[in-house]
Amino acid sequence: MLKDKWFYLSRLKRAKNRLNVFKALDKPMMPSEIMVKVFGKSSHTNFTFVSRALAELQKEGLVELKNPQEKTGRIYELTVLGRKIQKEVKGL
């Protein structure tokens, strides 16, 4: 069953890091690039926040891992659904 946009908007608004990571993903990016874009600096703690948010977004079908065979240098991109929902969250 496909969830409606309100389900996704609610999930994103409940978690600031998840929302910020989602909004930052405007092109195919590695977690380290997202981390710098969201937090402005690199740190192990921030990397953990980004990795957790990406895993949650991937589970919801909003983000896709483009190169799952790689252990480092993983590339994430919004799915078609993710792009639709991202248009809705621009003002959040």
In this predicted model, what pLDDT tens digit does every residue of 8-26 receive, in sequence order? 999 999 999 999 999 999 9
Which pLDDT belongs to residue 60? 93
Q: Which domain holds residue 80?
A: 5-89
Cα 87 to Cα 41: distance, rounded to the nearest angstrom = 26
Q: Which residue has the higher pLDDT, 24 or 92?
A: 24
**Residue of 33 and 45 predicted with greater confidence:** 33
**How many separate domains does the chain show?**
1
Degrees (nearest 5) of the Cα angle 49, 54, 56?
95
Distances from the Cα of 83 to the Cα of 38, 44, 70, 87, 89, angstroms: 18, 28, 24, 6, 10
The residues near 70 (Cβ < 8 Å, ≥ 6 apart) are none
Q: What is the mean pLDDT of residues 51-79?
A: 95
Average pLDDT of the chain? 91
Distances (CA, A) of 30 to 10, 34, 70, 75: 25, 6, 12, 5
Where residue 44 sits, what CATH number does that domain have?
Answer: 1.10.10.10
pLDDT of residue 1: 43
